[in-house]
Amino acid sequence: MKSIGSWFMGDRVIWVVYFFLCIISLVEVFSAASTLAYKSGSFWNPLIKQACFLAAGTVLVIIVHKVPCRMFKAVPIFLLPVSFLLLLVTLFSGKSANQASRWYEVFGIQFQPSELAKGAVVITVALILSRMQREEGADKQAFKYILIVAGSICLLIFPENLSTACLLFGVVVLMMFIGRVSLVQLGKLFGVLALSGLLGALVLFSMPKESSLYDLPMLHRVHTWSNRISSHMSAGDDEAAKNDPMKYDIDKGAQVAHANIAIASSNYVGKMPGNSVERDFLSQAFSDFIFAIIIEEMGIWGATAVVFLYIILLFRAGRISSRCERAFPPFLAMGLTLLLVSQAILNMLVAVGLFPVTGQPLPLISRGGTSTLINCVYIGMILSVSRHARQVKEEQHTEFDGPMTDIKHE
């Protein structure tokens, strides 16, 4: 009979981080999902659903981390074209939620194709970087191939989910930097992006609110983006309204307002899990703004612990990657970890009011189906790479110790 340890191989620290994030998810989703419990008529329903997703996710982690990481090289062959087609179909006939078509339904099951596409792009970029490494750095053609892959997918995500497209492209740029892509090429890319962003912002804020351009299929979300950015930039302009509670309009930017109340009312030490007040007023308290509820209930120390878990995940992935040769596994591990950690950072910045509202969930903590399961697959892949790194280390150790053993016998 196999021991329990044989089921949980790979880096032990990452396993510990994963289980801690799952525990926090169960506690905080159960606490923050009071509105879901009220609508469903069942007090335990949100907890049971999240527990089922995390249990299924853990099974996926166990299965995926047993797969040799070299096998993941085959994933882009089918996942990339499938993701492209699903995004294309979703863009024109997807299920709409919050005025955005991000969901696609298959056999009654709804999921976000963008979640599949993110993993497909990261794995593809890791494969390109590994195949095109040279002594002096990555081949110059790698930059072109990566832009074609990442650009085509991000352009399909962009109209309905700007934050996800920008997040994914940012991770790809970081992967190119780690993969020794020419700094000259990256510099030119930054210049083009900066110029495009500046021109886009000028057009965005110069367009009248009643413009018919907002009705075009690919631009219907522009008005939402403009409002969110304007709201965030003008949040601290009116000092009188900011300092006088009687003049503060809580209905203007209600999500940010209630998130701020949740954070301010934590009194540093928190109200303890289950005692949140703002969960009843904060929209998406169990998803996009769950970090605000964590601060309200667990205080600054609890929030710091959550941040620390993601930092540990990033550092462990870096250490694992450093043990591998410059090939596919380290690029894969760093790409997937950067994807998880950057999304977590963005969610936290939104919750504390340092970034405009985006709608990004907190990985492995926020309530969700598609995102939770796919994030668990990412963890499984990272653990698979850690197993590979350990094998490489053991082989190097054997090669080093072999001659010494022979000398002793002589």
Q: In this structure, are 205 and 272 located in the same domain?
A: no
Which of 173, 208, 233 is the endpoint of a domain?
233
- Same domain for 389 and 251: yes
Q: What is the dihedral of CA 325, 120, 63, 174, to 10 degrees?
A: 40
224 or 7, which is more confident? 7
Which residue type sits at 9?
M
- Asked whether residue 313 carries a pLDDT value surpassing 90, the answer given is yes
Phi first, then psi, for residue 106 (nearest 5°) are -130, 120
**In this structure, are 346 and 317 located in the same domain?**
yes
Domain boundary among the residues 178, 208, 233 is at 233
Average of pLDDT values for 42-48? 80
Are 198 and 252 in the same domain? Answer: no
Q: Looking at the domain assignment, is residue 45 inside a domain?
A: yes
Q: Is residue 153 part of a domain?
A: yes
Q: Are 35 and 178 contained in the same domain?
A: no
For position 268, what pLDDT does the model report? 80
Residues 116 and 191 in one domain: yes
pLDDT of residue 407: 35
Inside any domain, residue 12? no
pLDDT at 405 (0 to 100) = 43
pLDDT at 4 over 80: no
The pLDDT tens digits of the residues spanning 386-407 come to 988 777 676 666 655 554 444 3
Residues 393 and 292 in one domain: yes
DSSP string, 279-304: GGTSTTTTTTTHHHHHHHHHHHHHHH
Given a cut of 90, whether residue 106 has pLDDT beyond it is no
Are both 262 and 328 inside the same structural domain?
yes
What per-residue confidence (pLDDT) applies to 332? Answer: 94
Q: What is the pLDDT of residue 357?
A: 82
* Residues 119 and 46 reside in one and the same domain: no
Predicted local distance difference test score (pLDDT) of residue 217: 56
Q: Which amino acid is at 152?
A: S
21 contacts 365 by C-beta, under 8 angstroms: yes
Chain segment 379-390, per-residue pLDDT in tens: 999 999 998 877
Residues 83 and 44 in one domain: no
253 and 182 fall within a common domain: no
Q: Which of 208, 233, 258 is the last residue of a domain?
A: 233
Averaged pLDDT, 140-152: 94
- For residue 89, what are the β-bridge partners? none
DSSP 65-101: HTS-GGGGGGHHHHHHHHHHHHHHHHHHHPEEETTEE
Regarding predicted confidence, which is higher, 283 or 168?
168
Structure confidence at residue 225 as a pLDDT band (50, 70, 90): low
What is the mean predicted confidence (pLDDT) over 12-40? 87
Does residue 393 fall inside a structural domain?
Answer: yes
Distances (CA, A) of 128 to 100, 124, 143, 269: 32, 6, 9, 47
Query: What H or E segment, with its residue span, contains residue 104?
Result: strand 100-106
pLDDT of residue 235: 59
Are residues 136 and 114 part of one domain? yes
Q: Which residues of 139-153 are buried (b: 16+ CB within 10 A; e: fewer)?
A: beebbebbbebbeeb
In a domain, 9, yes or no: no
Please report which helix (H) or strand (E) contains residue 153, including its range. helix 140-157
| Domain range for 380 | 20-66+245-400
User: In the chain, how many domains are there?
Assistant: 2
> pLDDT at position 395, please?
66
Mean pLDDT (the chain, rounded) = 82
Is residue 212 assigned to a domain?
yes
User: Domain for residue 52, yes or no?
Assistant: yes
Q: Render pLDDT for 64-102 as a digit per residue (tens, 0 to 9).
A: 999 998 899 999 999 999 999 999 888 877 666 655 566
Q: Does residue 147 surpass a pLDDT of 60?
A: yes
Residue 63 has pLDDT above 80, yes or no: yes
* Cβ atoms 262, 282 nearer than 8 A: yes
Whether 92 is covered by a domain: the verdict is yes
Of 86-90, 220-224, 300-304, highest mean pLDDT: 300-304
